[in-house]
Amino acid sequence: MTRLTTSRLLGVTLLFLTVVLLWDLSNFDLPLARLAGTAGGFPWRDNRVLLLVMHEGPRLLSWLLLFALFAMVRWPLGFLRRLDLWGRLQLAVSVLAGVVVVSLIKNISDTSCPWDLVEFGGMARHVSHLAWGVVDGGPGRCFPAGHASAAFAYLGGWFALRGAAPAAAQRWLVVAGVVGLLLGLGQQWRGAHYMSHTLWTAWICWTVGLAIDLCVQALRRRRAALLAPSRTALNA
């Protein structure tokens, strides 16, 4: 994927969106939630090991890594030395932007969590998060999966790495995707999210990364165009 053109990247993004929408239309969210939930709730909701390993721990590590990425904009280490200043800044900003965008959407969402449903001992009814403006009777603010963004936000880093460090970019993409999916499954087992929430988070973070990459590439081209006359004059 390192050599994908912009048009192909947009095609991949649209294909990804299609897969997510098809999952939504499949109505598989509730059957999967029922595997972990009962009429009395979700037994694993407050499990200390699950909370530490799949919730609190990864979230803390994600923020520490993000802080390190911003520090390495100035003092790069390892394969980040292959990136120029713009690339390192793009990497750090892409991750932060993914987290922020998911959080903003989540804070205005009317969708409640699985553990809020009447079926699992709560007060809400199941309403698709695509049914905008339709409240489900619960507290809402559960779409998309904010916790999974602790890993999926790093998907945006692939765009910054793919040119200068393609092997690292591939590993980065795989790790971010696999860890994000595992975090999403952990939250689903606790009753905090549906699978669709996790898939939408992955798509949103990927799309944010793509949007930032397109902006950075446009800025690079503009900068190169502005510098071209000066270089021509120096060589004359």
- Residue range 61-73: average pLDDT? 98
Q: 1 lies in a domain? A: no
Q: Note the maximum CA span of the chain.
A: 80
Residue 202's domain comprises 7-223
Question: How many domains does the chain fold into?
Answer: 1
pLDDT of residue 221: 87
Which residues, other chains included, contact 30 with Cβ-Cβ below 8 Å and sequence gap of 6+? 119, 126, 194
Q: 151 lies in a domain? A: yes
Residue with tokens 């000066």: 230
pLDDT of residue 233: 55
Q: 230 lies in a domain? A: no
- Residue range 58-81: average pLDDT? 96
| Tens digit of each residue's pLDDT (9 = 90 or more) over 128-151 | 888 878 899 999 999 999 999 999
| Tens digit of each residue's pLDDT (9 = 90 or more) over 23-46 | 998 989 999 999 999 999 999 999
Closest by Cα among 130, 117, 156 to 36? 117
Which residues, other chains included, contact 101 with Cβ-Cβ below 8 Å and sequence gap of 6+? 204, 205, 208
Provide the whole-model pTM. Answer: 0.93
Q: 79 lies in a domain? A: yes
Q: 99 lies in a domain? A: yes
| Tens digit of each residue's pLDDT (9 = 90 or more) over 80-130 | 999 999 999 999 999 999 999 999 999 999 999 999 999 999 999 998 888
pLDDT of residue 198: 97
Q: Which whole-number Å values give the CA distances from 158 to 130, 137, 226, in the listed order?
A: 29, 39, 28
Give the torsion sign (CA, 66, 68, 70, 73). Answer: negative
Q: 229 lies in a domain? A: no
Q: In this structure, what DSSP letter does residue 191 have?
A: T
Tokens linked to 139: 């507290």
Q: 102 lies in a domain? A: yes
- Residue range 15-28: average pLDDT? 94
| Tens digit of each residue's pLDDT (9 = 90 or more) over 160-218 | 999 999 999 999 999 999 999 999 999 999 999 999 999 999 999 999 999 999 999 99
The alpha carbon torsion through 212, 217, 222, 228 (nearest 10 deg) reads: 150
Q: 36 lies in a domain? A: yes
Instruction: List alpha helices for 76-165, DSSP H.
Output: 85-108, 149-152, 157-161
